[in-house]
């Protein structure tokens, strides 16, 4: 049992690594914002990353970029950006890889699909699914998006009927081997199953929208 003490403000987000050996923590703004990486076996702080951004760390997720690569992680910030950090070769430390503007408002939630290596993000009343992988012109990884290196975003689902409401995600992992994910709306209480590729709307008798 350990008490992990490093943050001076509220901790907003936590995420345990794929192997269960490391913990990410991020929280409310100080200048700059702070991400802390902890060793869960010893309780020691492995690394502290300062983030010069507007706002606070809103969500965190560990990602696995390939079978060969070491761990990486992403985090969302209240200024709408998603940051990607990769583990340095043969070292326990992580270094900055890329940043992508996902929303005008805060990134509310992130989830990683281990099967297809897709990243889902929630913000501004919409769900976006990103392909994260090596950039042909660089050695580091980046997000495939029309705003980054002219790649196309692979999916972009907007729910106009609840556009002005907040979305909270239930997808700590994707379902059906990465072919579906769950999204819940905070105000309405509806839970939606989203399927990739393009959805077909079906309303079930229990008020769930099912996408095949």
Locate the domains of the chain by residue range.
Answer: 11-162
Residue 39 CA to its chain's centroid (Å):
21
The pLDDT of residue 149: 27
Q: Which two tokens stand for residue 86?
A: 């990769």
Q: Which residues of 67-86 are buried (b: 16+ CB within 10 A; e: fewer)?
A: eeeebbbbbbbbbbbbbbbb
Q: What is the average pLDDT value for the chain, to the nearest integer?
A: 69
Q: What is the pLDDT of residues 42-58, one digit of tens each?
A: 888 889 888 876 678 88
- Burial of 99 (C-beta count, 10 Å sphere; 0-12/13-18/19+): middle
What does pTM read for this prediction? 0.72
DSSP letter at 69 equals: S
The pLDDT of residue 30: 62
Identify the residue with better confidence: 94 or 117. 94
d(CA 82, CA 107): 7
Q: What class, spelled out in words, does domain 11-162 have in CATH?
A: mainly beta
């Amino acid at each position: 049992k350990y008490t992990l003490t490093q943050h001076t403000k509220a901790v907003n987000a936590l995420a345990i690594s794929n192997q269960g050996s490391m913990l990410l923590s991020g929280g409310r703004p100080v200048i700059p914002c702070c991400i802390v990486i902890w060793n869960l076996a010893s309780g020691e702080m492995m690394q502290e990353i300062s983030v010069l951004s507007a706002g606070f760390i809103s969500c965190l997720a560990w990602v696995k970029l390939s079978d060969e690569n070491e761990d990486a992680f992403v985090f969302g910030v209240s200024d709408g950006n998603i940051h990607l950090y990769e583990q340095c070769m043969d070292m326990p430390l992580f270094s900055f890889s890329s940043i992508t503007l996902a929303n005008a408002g805060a990134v509310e939630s992130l989830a990683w699909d281990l099967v297809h290596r897709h990243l889902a993000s929630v913000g501004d009343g919409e769900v976006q699914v990103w392909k994260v992988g090596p950039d042909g012109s660089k050695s580091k990884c980046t997000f495939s998006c029309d705003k980054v290196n002219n790649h196309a975003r692979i999916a972009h689902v907007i729910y106009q009927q609840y556009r002005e409401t907040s979305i909270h995600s239930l997808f700590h992992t994707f379902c059906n081997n990465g072919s579906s994910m769950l999204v819940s709306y905070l105000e309405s209480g509806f839970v939606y199953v989203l399927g990739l590729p393009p959805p077909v709307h079906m309303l079930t008798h229990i008020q769930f929208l099912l996408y095949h």
